[in-house]
A and B are shown apart, each in its own frame.
Chain A
Amino acid sequence: MHFTRFSIAAAALTALAACAPPGQSASSEANATGPIKIANVNAQSGQLSSLGQWEHKGVKLAVDEANKAGGINGRQIKLDLFDDQGDPTVGTNLARKIASEGYIAMLGTAESAVTLAMSPILKDAKIPSITSGQSPKLAELKSPFMFLNAPTSVTFDETLAEYLVDDKGYKDIALISNNGAYGAGEHDAFLAALKTRNVTPLADEVVTPDQKDFNANLAKIREQDPEVLFIGAEEVQSGLIAKQARELGVKAVFAGGAPVGTDVYATTAGLENAEGTVVSSPYLSNEASEEIKAFAAKYKAAYNEEARMHVAKAYDGASILIEALKQTCGEGGQKLADAIRGVKRAGLLGNYAYDANGVGIHETKIGLLKDGKVVPEAAS
């Protein structure tokens, strides 16, 4: 008796489920009025929070300017900040949250691993995103909804290798990098660039992202007495490496990507130790051009702190998105992705022209650190 009643109930349930599988009514509310919702996902807590906070300030500056200037065809942009904690799993949760709450585009994140995790979900939801990550793997995804606001590590390190090996003739090169997403990307890209030039590094030391003492690694490097030490790590760690290397008596020239061009690197290493460091970056300093000077002044007025590359590229990314939104009149999806791809912009980091993989900038510049400031090296 019980059994029959139960099976009837079960049958009724299955029937119900079969008729109407649960799900969200496709969010085609296509609200042509009201504010345009844009999500900014960046780490606000955890190890990479300073990076995430800079990115957010840059994005906010661009959005505030656009809103003050009348928004997108009279509609305001509503920018909401989400904290991914630098954790890819949290990132995937946020990607779903963004998708289900009607955001039409995403800016961020600053960490490639998080962006990589979010990308497939955003692609399925047809939400274009402009990330600050620079891992070559982002471009390898070939997602039509994924755009980078900076060159990938491949570009950074190709330019660097070209300068060091082809122009300066250095052959004795050692590497030290961390095995985090950024460090590993730099390591692989620089090694590949060396390989095409038939240069084998004298040493290839790998550390962990939270390591603070590199004496053991650097002692091994000192034995090889290289001319150049390539540093593939974030700002503070790069500074610590440089400082400890000089203390151990390593005389090599330091070289690296954007992190070694920052004031954080220079102050951590000590101005004297950082002197002469070779930087490969699309954004060498706040004085590099008139546009950058104007931007740096604007940024200082808004936040009372110095501008830097992370701020500038986030600003560039947000500006590109705003420009594309103006073209689509606030519409998202495939149309917005196409519009972003079509934007040609002379930005702070260079001239943006997106290719099929979502990379917009294809060159970096070489600079040398003098007194803690990056001075552009005369193009050769």
Chain B
Amino acid sequence: MKRLLWLVPLAVAAWLLPYGLGGYAIHVADVAIIFAILAIGLGLTMGVAGQINLAQVAFFGVGAYAVAILTTKAGFGFWTAAALALLVAVVFGMLVGIPALRMQSHYLGIVTLGLALAFTNWVTNAHIAGRAEGISDIPVPPMFGIDLSSGYLFYYVELVVFAIALAFALLVTRSPLGRRLRAMRDDDLAAGSLGAEIPLLRMTAFVLSGLYGGLAGILYAGLIRFVAPESFNIANMFLLLAMVIIGGRSSIIGCVVGAVALSLVREALLDASGYAQLGYGLVVVLVVVFAPQGLAGLPGQIRSLLRRRAGGSRAQLGPFRPYGAAPASSREAALEVREVTKRFKGLVALDRVSLTVPTGEIRGIVGPNGSGKTTLFNVISGFYDPTQGSVALGGRDVTGMAPYRLSLRGVARTFQNLRLFEDLSVRENILLGLDRTRTSWIWRYPGLPWKVLDYERSLHRRGEELIERFGLTDVAGAGPRSLPYGVQRRIELARAMAMSPTLLLLDEPAAGLNGEEVRQLAEIVRSIRDSGVTVIVIEHNMGLVMSLCDQVTVLSSGKVIADGRPAEVAVHPDVVAAYLGDSMSAPTEATAEAAAEEATR
């Protein structure tokens, strides 16, 4: 509660502001608030969720036009029309979001831009939308006898809506949903393997975008009481984009600051409007070059600059606190891979691979480069659909299930070349793993926001415990990129264990570790096994494999060539041949390896 105290003077200032403003200045403030709401929406989709959305101005238009048409042509009251308009804007947001399921980055930008243009084109030509002349005479919103045609009183309506919109956006960004959206922005594959339903999350981002766009549109219709195509054109989309970029796209408060600042600048430049666009462009370029995080990122940038000058201390990895041993569970198979074949066009990466791993075992998977080990992991964790064959978890068939579903069923994995979310702190990386909710849980955000906060608090509690267990307390607040490689490996392991998995897949966990770190790793993996988790390890460090694994499976050219206890496998003639000789007889292996690498990417 104390933390929110700084809001009080701000709220009082906002409340008293109209007393100090002239009739025109208050109108400028009204418009600035509308743009701030729009910028929050764009910040959520583009900054937080990483969906390049150039249709925000069209959502704005949809909201405003829907109110205009419903009040003037269909005879609805203002607030009924407003509720319907909000619904229309959200549905429009979902429609625009559909392409995002198939494409990302600049392609998505082009598609959304096209849809925004289609919207202005439609309203310029449709009779119902008043064509180029627009729709005037939108009724004044009634409110218990308060005259909202006054810009002063409308300001208070806007202020309340804005406060709620801002609070909701902050709730979203500082909760499990926002964390998942940011994780999706950084690396959607890794986010999926942590249990994030990527398609649903993308739709959520566009629904939020439509919601905020519609909200701003309704307020616009109530304030200006006139709509025309020019107000929703691409120049305004650019202005909005500039607001978000200047303010700092991943910070909601930054977006608001950017929107308010640019609205005021636009007002000041009214007399030189011919050159205003040029000015905005220049400012955007300068910001992108010198402050890529925008105004909101400046304090952090200065802080890191100072720290670099001071030459900060090196983070220390604490000792690992072992898990308590779990009672031995049933010895049934945790994982059963039956006759799995995976083909990439002409290349057979896996050829009728069968594998049974009993519960509570540490299984090693070894083999030369390009023998299909990572492909096997990708099939088990749902990244690839097998061409043939089946995968069963604890006796239930899970062949072809999406990664997030498998993650929710207890499959956790690490990646050969580390996939930590770099824009999130170590703590947030781990909280992502801890959050086991389905995305459908999000109805609670508008419905029961306090439940969300409760859940978030409990996540943090469990997160701290896990961080402490893995000895990451010193580095919990840092960004993963700034940490040594060995620490990053430890974080990825902790993140995987945060999912409380029953099956843990480790892809070359010892790569790049020094001798002491390898020893610690072995200790941690054994403790994990003792807590009842089945572990499968791909590893090249033969010393580690021999000492750690209960059983070892050897793959070569996509086939299982040996299976058994480490000591037996090491002397198996086929294994020796695969590792040491006979490579002359199989010149295709190098090409196969390259192709498989390519496919894994």
> Given A45-B273, A100-B23, are A120 and B125 also a contact pair (CB < 8 Å)?
no
User: Are B133 and A120 in contact, CB atoms less than 8 angstroms apart?
Assistant: no
Q: Within the assembled complex, what's the spacing in Å between the Cα atoms of A120 and B18? A: 23
B301: interface (CB < 8 Å): no
Task: Give the nearest-CB partner of A208 in chain B.
Answer: B124
CB contacts (< 8 Å) of B24 on chain A: these are: 93, 96-97, 100-101
Q: A23 to B125, Cβ gap below 8 A? A: no
What is the bound-complex CA distance between A24 and B124, given in angstroms? 37
Stretch of B225-233, B249-257, B326-334, B386-394 contacting A (4+ beta carbons < 8 Å): B225-233
Contact A180 B19 (CB under 8 A): no
| CB pair A179 B124 closer than 8 Å | yes
Flag if A96 contacts B131 (CB, 8 Å): no
Chain A, range 70-95, C-beta contacts under 8 Å to B:
83, 85-90, 92-93
A111 to chain B minimum Cβ distance, whole angstroms, is 10
* Chain A, Cβ-Cβ closest to B155: A22
- A113–B132 touching, CB < 8 Å: yes
- B1-37 CB mask vs A (1 if < 8 Å, else 0) is 1000100100010011011011110111001000000
A113 contacts B230, CB within 8 Å?
yes
Alpha-carbon distance between A137 and B21 when the two chains are bound, in angstroms: 35
Asked if B12 contacts A117 (CB within 8 A), the reply is no
Asked whether, in the complex, the Cβ of A13 is within 8 Å of the Cβ of B1, the reply is no
A100 to B29, CA, bound (A): 15
For residue A46, which residues in chain B have a CB less than 8 angstroms away from its CB? 273-274
Q: With the chains together, A141 CA to B28 CA distance in Å?
A: 26
Residues of A within 8 A of B225 (CB): 120
Q: How far is the CA of A9 from the CA of B133 in the complex (A)?
A: 47
Binds A, one of B102-110, B146-154, B209-217, B537-545: B146-154
**By CB atoms of chain A within 10 A, which of B26, B150, B226 has the most?**
B226
**Restricting to A163-214, which residues have a CB under 8 Å from any CB of B?**
179-181, 183-185, 206, 208-209
A167 to B225 alpha-carbon distance, docked (Å): 45
B271 located at the interface, meaning its Cβ lies under 8 Å from any Cβ of chain A in the complex: yes
A138: nearest chain-B partner, CB-CB: B133
Q: Which residues of A contact B231 (CB under 8 A)?
A: 87-89
A185 to B132, CA, bound (A): 10
Task: Give A117 to B221 CA distance when docked, in angstroms.
Answer: 12
Q: Does B137 contact A (CB under 8 A)?
A: yes
Report Cα–Cα, A39/B270, bound state, in Å: 15
Contact in complex: B27, A137 (CB < 8 Å): no
Residue-by-residue, is B291-321 near A (CB-CB < 8 Å gives 1, otherwise 0)? 0000000000000000000000000000000
Quick check: is A131 within 8 A (CB to CB) of the other chain? no
- Asked if B224 CB lies within 8 Å of chain A CBs, one says yes
- In the complex, per-residue mask of A96-107: 1 if CB is within 8 Å of any chain B CB, else 0: 110111000000
CB nearest neighbor in B for A119: B136
Contact check, A22 vs B152: say whether CB atoms are below 8 A apart.
yes
User: A2 interface residue, CB < 8 Å from B?
Assistant: yes
Whether A21 is near chain B, meaning CB under 8 Å from some CB there, is yes
Given A89-B224, A100-B22, CB of A179 within 8 Å of CB of B131: yes
> Could you say which residues of chain A place their CB within 8 Å of the CB of B226?
88, 92, 116-117, 120
Q: Identify whether the interface residues of B are mostly helix, strand, loop, or mixed.
A: helix
Q: Considering only CB atoms, which chain B residue lies closest to A206 in the complex?
A: B125
Q: Once bound together, how far apart are the Cα atoms of A90 and B132, in whole Å?
A: 16
Q: Which of B24, B225, B271 has the most CB of A within 10 A?
A: B24
Task: Give residues 427-483 of B contacting A (CB, 8 Å).
Answer: none
Please, how many angstroms separate the alpha-carbon atoms of A141 and B134 in the complex?
13
Asked if residues B1 and A22 are in contact (CB atoms below 8 Å), the reply is no
Q: Is the CB of A21 within 8 A of B133?
A: no
CB distance from A280 to the nearest CB of B (A): 21
Q: Is A112 among interface residues, defined by CB-CB distance under 8 A? A: yes
Q: Which residue of B lies closest to A23 (CB)?
A: B152
Interface check A319, CB cutoff 8 A: no
Q: A83-B271, A93-B27 are in contact. Are A17 and B133 (CB under 8 A)?
A: no
Query: A155 in the interface, Cβ–Cβ < 8 Å?
Result: no
Q: How far is the CA of A342 from the CA of B228 in the complex (A)?
A: 33
How close is B57's CB to chain A, nearest CB, in angstroms?
Answer: 12
Interface range on chain B (Cβ under 8 Å from partner): 35 or more
Which chain A residue shows the least CB distance to B153? Answer: A21
Minimum CB distance partner of A84 in chain B: B273
Residues on A with beta carbons closer than 8 Å to the beta carbon of B23: 23-24, 96, 99-100
Identify B230's interface contact among A13, A86, A100, A185, CB under 8 A. Answer: A86
Chain B residue with the shortest CB-CB distance to A81: B271
Of B18, B133, B271, the contact of A137 (CB 8 Å cutoff): B133
Given contacts A22-B152, A86-B230, contact A45 B274 (CB under 8 A): yes
Determine whether the beta carbon of A88 is less than 8 Å from that of B27: no
- B6 to chain A minimum Cβ distance, whole angstroms, is 13
Q: Which of A2, A92, A206 contacts B224 (CB 8 A)?
A: A92
B273 near A181 (CB under 8 angstroms)? Answer: no
Q: Is A124 an interface residue (CB 8 A)?
A: yes
B152 contact set on A, CB distance < 8 A: 21-24
List residues of chain B with CB within 8 A of the CB of A83.
270-271, 273
Is A42 part of the binding interface, using a Cβ–Cβ cutoff of 8 Å? no
A286 close to chain B: CB less than 8 A: no
Flag if A88 contacts B134 (CB, 8 Å).
yes
A112 CB to closest chain B CB (Å) equals 6
Q: A113–B224 contact, CB under 8 A?
A: no
B133–A113 CB distance below 8 A: yes
Which chain A residues lie closer than 8 Å to B18 at the CB level? 22-23
A100 to B26, CA, bound (A): 10
CB-defined contacts of B22 to chain A, threshold 8 Å = 24, 100
Given A93-B27, A96-B23, A117-B134, A88-B230 contact (CB < 8 Å):
yes
A134 to B273, CA, bound (A): 26
- In the assembly, what is the distance between CA of A299 and CA of B244, in Å? 48
* Contact residues in B for A181 (Cβ distance below 8 Å): 131-133
The reply to whether B228 and A88 form a contact with Cβ atoms under 8 Å apart is yes
Contacting pair A13 B27 (CB below 8 A): no
CB distance from B148 to the nearest CB of A (A): 12
Flag if A120 contacts B136 (CB, 8 Å). yes
Task: Name the distance in Å between A88's Cβ and chain B's nearest Cβ.
Answer: 4
Known contacts A24-B22, A100-B24; is-contact A184 B12 (Cβ 8 Å):
no
Kindly state whether residue A135 has any CB partner on chain B within 8 Å: yes
Q: Write the chain B residue with the least CB distance to A178.
A: B132
Q: Which chain B residues lie closer than 8 Å to A89 at the CB level?
A: 224, 228, 230-231
Interface flags, B246-288, vs A, CB<8A=1, else 0:
0000000000000000000000001101100000000000000
- 28 inter-chain pairs at a CB distance below 8 angstroms, sorted by A residue, are A2-B5, A9-B12, A13-B16, A17-B156, A21-B152, A22-B19, A23-B23, A23-B150, A83-B270, A85-B273, A87-B230, A89-B224, A97-B24, A97-B27, A100-B23, A100-B24, A100-B27, A113-B133, A113-B134, A113-B230, A116-B133, A137-B133, A179-B131, A181-B131, A181-B133, A184-B131, A184-B133, A185-B133
Query: Which positions in B face A, CB cutoff 8 Å?
Result: 1, 5, 8, 12, 15-16, 18-19, 21-24, 26-28, 31, 124-125, 131-134, 136-137, 149-153, 156, 224-226, 228, 230-231, 270-271, 273-274
Query: 6 closest A-B pairs (Cβ-Cβ)?
Result: A100-B23, A45-B274, A22-B18, A88-B228, A181-B132, A89-B231
| Beyond known contacts A96-B23, A120-B226, A185-B133: 20 more, CB 8 A cutoff | A6-B8, A9-B8, A22-B19, A22-B21, A22-B152, A23-B18, A23-B150, A24-B23, A44-B274, A88-B230, A89-B224, A90-B273, A92-B224, A93-B27, A100-B27, A113-B133, A113-B230, A117-B134, A137-B133, A184-B131
